[in-house]
Amino acid sequence: MTAEAVPTQALAWFKEIDLHAVPRVGGKGASLGELRRAGITIPDGFVLTTDAFRLFMAPLRQQLQLEPRIAALQGKDNTTLNSECAQIRAALTRHQCPPELQKAISTAWQELSENGKHAVAVRSSATSEDGADASFAGLQDTYLWVQSEAAMLEAVKLCWASLYNAESVSYRLRLAVAEAQLAMAVVIQRMVNSYCSGVMFTRSPTTGDRSVITLEGSWGLGSAIVSGEVTPDKYVINKITREITRRDIGCKLMAHVPAPNGGVLEQEVEADRQQQPCLQDAQILALAEIAKQVERHYGKPQDIEWALDQDGNILLLQSRPETVWANKDTAPVAKPAAKPFDHIFKVMGGKR
C-alpha cells in the first residue's frame, strides 16, 4: 500500500458506489449510492469507508492494547466496563488522523461544502446490511448541520468512537465478535435546508397494504419527525390510481431548523402555519412517484426519508427496506380453486 493509494480507497463518493459496496461503506452509504444510480436526486456526499476506520485505528490498536484490553472486560462489572469504554473513546477522539487520510478528507470536504459554504451531515453507516446486526446495536449517530472542517472531523471521530460505547462492547463480548474485524463507515453528506421534510413508506405501516404509500411531513428538518417530537401531516396515496385517499393535517407546533453556530435548533412554528398543510397535492403526488420508483428499483417495500428544499426540489435522504411487515409471515389470502366459482361457495358457506 502506498501512501497515495490508501486514502483513495478510504474515501468513496456516492457516485462511485452501489449496494455491492455495503461491506466497505455500510448500509446507509451504499443505499445512497444506489439511489443516485437509480436516478433519484439525493444531496451529494462521500463515505469514509471501513479502510479509513482501519487506517485511523491502526496506530491506536497498538497504543491502547485494544484487543487484550477489551477481552479482559469479559465478565467485568458495569462500572469497570463503563470507565474502560469511556477511556477508549476519549483516546479515540483525541487521536489525530494520519496525515494522508486527513488530507483526503479535507479535500473531499472542501469540494462538497464548497469551502465551507454548505453545512454537512455526518452519520454512522453500519456495515451490516439492515443495521440490525447486534454489534452495531444502538449506533445511529447523526450530526446535523456541521459547518466547519474541524467540527466535521470531530463528528467523524465521535461516530467511530461510538463503536466503543459500553452497550456495543458488551454485546460484542457476549456474541464473541472478533475485534480485529470490527469496522465502521461514516457518511458525510451535504445538508438540505429543508422547507419541509418527512418520511414515506411504500406500504401501509398500520395494515401492511402494498397498494398505498403513507407519507408524513412537517416543517423544517426531518429530525423532528424521526425523533417523534412533532405530529406531522399524514397522507395516504393510492399507488395505482394516484388518489390521495387520506389527509390528516397535524398540528405542527415546532420545527427543527439549523442553529446559527452549527447543529440543530428547536423552533416554535408561527400559529398560522401550525395547521397549514406542508405539502401541495402536486408535491404529494411527485413524492409518491419517487417512492414508487425507489420501490421498483429495489423490488421490495421501502422506508424513505425525504426533504423539500427552499427552492421546492425534492431530495431523498435515505431509503431502506421496510422490515416490520416484511418479517411477518402472511399466508396467501386465497389459493386457486378447482373451478373459479368455488371461491363463492367458500365465502358464502362461511368458510373464509
Partner 1 sequence: MKLNPFPKPTSIGPVAGAENWQSMYPYFTHVQPEDDQRFWFYNSMHFSEPMSAFDMITAETAYHAMGAYMTRVFAFPTAMGIDYRVINGRVYITANTVTDPAKIQERLELFQQRAGHYYENWDKFYGEWEQRMLGLIRDMNAIKVPELPEYEDEAVVMQQRGTAQNHLVRTSYHRTIELYSQMWHHHFEMLMLGYGAYVVFFQFCKQAFPEITDQSVARMVAGIDVLMFRPDDELKKLARLAVELQLGDIFTSDGNPAVILPAVKARGAAGAQWLKALETAREPWFNISIGDGFYHYERSWNDDLSVPLSALPHYIDLVKQGVSLDRPTERLKQEREHIINEYRSLLGSDDEKAAFDQMLGVCHMVFPYVENHKFYCEHWLTTSFFNKVREFGTLLNRFGVIDEQSDIFQLHYTEVEQVLANVMNSWAAGSPPANLQHWKTIVKERRAMLKVLAQWQAPPAIGPMPANIEDPALQMLWGITTETLHRWAMPPGADTGEIKGYAASAGVVEGIARVLRSINDFGEVQEGDILVCPVTHPSWSPLFSKLKAAVSDIGGTMSHMAIVAREYGMPAVVGTGEATKRIKNGQRIRVDGDRGVVTILDEAA
Residues near partner 1 (CB under 8 A) are 204, 207-212, 236, 238-241, 243-247, 330, 332-337, 339-341, 343-345, 347-350, 352
* Helices 50-64 and 22-37, packing angle to 10 deg: 160
| C-alpha count within 13 angstroms, C-beta hemisphere, residue 333 | 3
102 vs 204 by CB, closer to partner 1? 204
- The least distance separating partner 1 from the CB of residue 238, rounded to whole angstroms, comes to 7
For residue 145, the surrounding DSSP H or E stretch is strand 142-146
Cell matching residue 54: 482501519
94 vs 296 by CB, closer to partner 1? 296
117 vs 339 by CB, closer to partner 1? 339
- The least distance separating partner 1 from the CB of residue 326, rounded to whole angstroms, comes to 11
- Measured CA distances, 288 to 213, 270, 318 (Å): 7, 28, 15
- The least distance separating partner 1 from the CB of residue 232, rounded to whole angstroms, comes to 18
What is the radius of gyration, based on Cα positions, of the chain?
Answer: 23
- The least distance separating partner 1 from the CB of residue 322, rounded to whole angstroms, comes to 14
204 vs 293 by CB, closer to partner 1? 204
42 vs 237 by CB, closer to partner 1? 237
- The least distance separating partner 1 from the CB of residue 281, rounded to whole angstroms, comes to 8
Cell matching residue 92: 479515540
- Measured CA distances, 133 to 36, 74, 159 (Å): 25, 20, 17
64 vs 284 by CB, closer to partner 1? 284
Quote the CA–CA distance of 120 and 95 in Å, as a whole number: 22
Beta bridge partners of 198: 217, 306
- The least distance separating partner 1 from the CB of residue 161, rounded to whole angstroms, comes to 43
Whether 266 and 296 have beta carbons less than 8 Å apart is answered as no
